[in-house]
């Protein structure tokens, strides 16, 4: 079975296909792909077994990432929590991976290929495969609002929502320049606390431009002071919590809990079916516990990295990398704000 390549930003068949494909997420859309290309220069490409000139019946979307720092690779997809291969027949997926395998062997174009599916696919190829596990939380919005609220953890979630109401925290949402500025200031504070640089401001501007009404920035205020913010993405029957940030000095006021509860209420009233709380690292027990307390169902997602060599790419040394990571985090926690932002602008295009 032949495999073909299409450019999803130029071929209207891709967006038409997504409209009727129930597994398609916000991360498959041309809007998301445009934001990736505008910000980081990643060029999207779709592999399919549908011949040219015919209606698409399947497709696996990747971005080409070329970096002098981290290598050349195909990723499905950068900065995306998950990207399910939109293929029904395992043989078709095997054929697509086979075409990628042959291309890698002949041209040595890619150091590795990475896929981030919702479901783990056991596909036999001559690639050497490494897997990486993450945790995904999703909340079913079918129950009533009172049932959803009753499913929240009474102490850490329900109590914080009531506290936010007693403190008379206010809440704004939209895509205005003012809301983006408040969100980004809180993002810098949060990323500094974690010892990592913030994503480039340009990334969020491009998301707003490309996704339009599907994107909402939500900010909680104590008086005129922004204390917590989240960014959500809507696609079909799902609302996705993508980014969150807050001022730790005001965590006891329940600003983040207020924002998420408002988001759930709005998603429910709009007739959506799922509130996706996004991906978490397996060893981030604090974040996974926080998401557990919203009554969301926890599942495991597995990323796969395919290489033509059994040796770990770039001779990766875990202990040395962990030591360097800890040192970098200590430095970034004390870096000036301008330097921290510049680090994000430089580094993120290399780590997608």
pLDDT digits (tens, 9 = 90+) for 205-262: 999 999 999 999 999 999 999 999 999 999 999 999 999 999 999 999 999 999 999 9
Residues 167 and 70 in one domain: no
User: 70-99: b or e for each residue (b if 16 or more CB lie within 10 Å)?
Assistant: beebbbbbbbbbbbbbbbeeeebbbbbbbb
Q: Is the pLDDT of residue 107 over 60?
A: no
Residues 246 and 168 in one domain: yes
Q: Average pLDDT of 112-133?
A: 81
Q: What is the pLDDT of residues 192-202, one digit of tens each?
A: 998 889 999 99
Lowest mean pLDDT: which of 2-16, 137-151, 152-166, 319-333? 319-333
In a domain, 34, yes or no: yes
Question: What are the structure tokens assigned to 289, written together?
Answer: 């516990």
How many structural domains comprise the chain?
2
Q: Is the pLDDT of residue 285 over 90?
A: yes
d(CA 276, CA 241): 6
CB 262 within 8 A of CB 239: no
Cis peptide before 185 (omega within 30 of 0): no
In a domain, 64, yes or no: yes
Alpha-helical (H) ranges within the chain are: 12-19, 30-40, 90-107, 145-150, 159-166, 177-194, 201-211, 255-269, 285-292, 318-333, 337-351
Q: What is the pLDDT of residue 106?
A: 46
83, 321, 79, 81: which is closest to 200 by C-alpha? 79
CB 192 within 8 A of CB 333: yes
Q: Which domain holds residue 189?
A: 137-301
Lowest mean pLDDT: which of 26-40, 76-90, 104-118, 216-230? 104-118
In a domain, 12, yes or no: yes
d(CA 147, CA 144): 5
Residues 114 and 159 in one domain: no
Q: What is the pLDDT of residue 112?
A: 85
Say which residues have a Cβ less than 8 Å from residue 52's Cβ, sequence separation at least 6. 4
Sequence-ordered strand ranges (E) for 58-124: 60-67, 71-76, 112-115
Question: What are the structure tokens assigned to 298, written together?
Answer: 């926890």
Which of 96, 126, 156 is the C-terminal boundary of a domain?
126
Q: What is the pLDDT of residue 318?
A: 38
Higher pLDDT pick, 91 / 259: 259
Residue recorded with tokens 């002098």: 68
Residues 50 and 144 in one domain: no
Q: What is the pLDDT of residue 325?
A: 46
Q: Average pLDDT of 322-339?
A: 60
CB 198 within 8 A of CB 145: no
Q: Is the pLDDT of residue 102 over 90?
A: no
d(CA 78, CA 33): 10
Kindly state the percentage of the chain with pLDDT values over 70.
Answer: 88
Q: What is the pLDDT of residue 1?
A: 72
Q: What is the pLDDT of residue 163?
A: 97
Residues 160 and 294 in one domain: yes
d(CA 352, CA 348): 6
Give the pairing type, strands 297-307 and 112-115. antiparallel
Residues 34 and 108 in one domain: yes
In a domain, 227, yes or no: yes
Residues 204 and 257 in one domain: yes
In a domain, 310, yes or no: no
Q: What is the pLDDT of residue 334?
A: 61
Residues 17 and 70 in one domain: yes
Residues 93 and 173 in one domain: no
**How many distinct helices (H) and strands (E) make up the chain?**
11, 12
Residues 146 and 272 in one domain: yes
CATH number (domain holding residue 259): 3.40.630.30
Residues 111 and 147 in one domain: no
């Amino acid at each position: 079975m032949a495999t073909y390549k299409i450019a999803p930003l130029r071929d209207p068949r891709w967006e038409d296909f997504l409209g009727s494909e129930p597994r398609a997420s916000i991360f498959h859309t041309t809007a998301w792909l445009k934001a990736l290309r505008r910000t980081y220069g990643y060029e999207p490409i779709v592999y399919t077994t549908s011949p040219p000139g015919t209606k698409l019946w399947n497709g696996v979307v990747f971005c080409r990432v070329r970096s002098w720092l981290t290598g050349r690779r195909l990723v499905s997809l950068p900065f995306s929590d998950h990207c399910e291969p939109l293929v029904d027949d395992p043989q078709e997926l095997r054929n697509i991976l086979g075409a990628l395998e042959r291309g890698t062997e002949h041209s040595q174009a890619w150091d590795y290929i990475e896929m981030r599916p919702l479901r783990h696919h056991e596909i036999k190829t001559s690639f050497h495969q490494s897997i990486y596990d993450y945790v995904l939380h999703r909340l079913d919005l079918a129950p009533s609002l009172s049932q959803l609220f009753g499913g929240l953890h009474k102490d850490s979630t329900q109590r914080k929502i009531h506290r936010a109401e007693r403190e008379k925290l206010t809440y704004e949402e939209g895509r205005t320049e003012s809301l983006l500025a408040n969100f980004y200031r809180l993002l810098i504070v949060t990323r500094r606390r974690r010892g990592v640089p913030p994503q480039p401001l340009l990334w969020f501007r491009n998301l707003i431009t490309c996704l339009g009404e599907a994107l909402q920035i939500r900010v909680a205020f104590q008086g005129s002071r922004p204390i917590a913010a989240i960014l959500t993405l809507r696609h079909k029957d799902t609302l996705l919590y993508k980014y969150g940030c807050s001022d730790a000095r005001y965590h006891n006021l329940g600003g983040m809990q207020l924002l998420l509860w408002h988001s759930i209420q709005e998603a429910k009233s709009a007739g959506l079916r799922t509130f996706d709380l996004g991906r978490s690292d397996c060893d981030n027990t604090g974040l996974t516990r926080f998401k557990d307390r919203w009554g969301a169902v926890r599942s495991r997602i597995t990323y796969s990295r395919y290489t033509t060599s059994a040796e770990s790419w770039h001779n990766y040394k875990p202990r040395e990398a962990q030591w360097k990571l800890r040192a970098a985090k200590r430095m970034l926690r004390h870096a000036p704000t301008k330097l921290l932002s510049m680090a994000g602008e430089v580094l993120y295009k290399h780590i997608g």
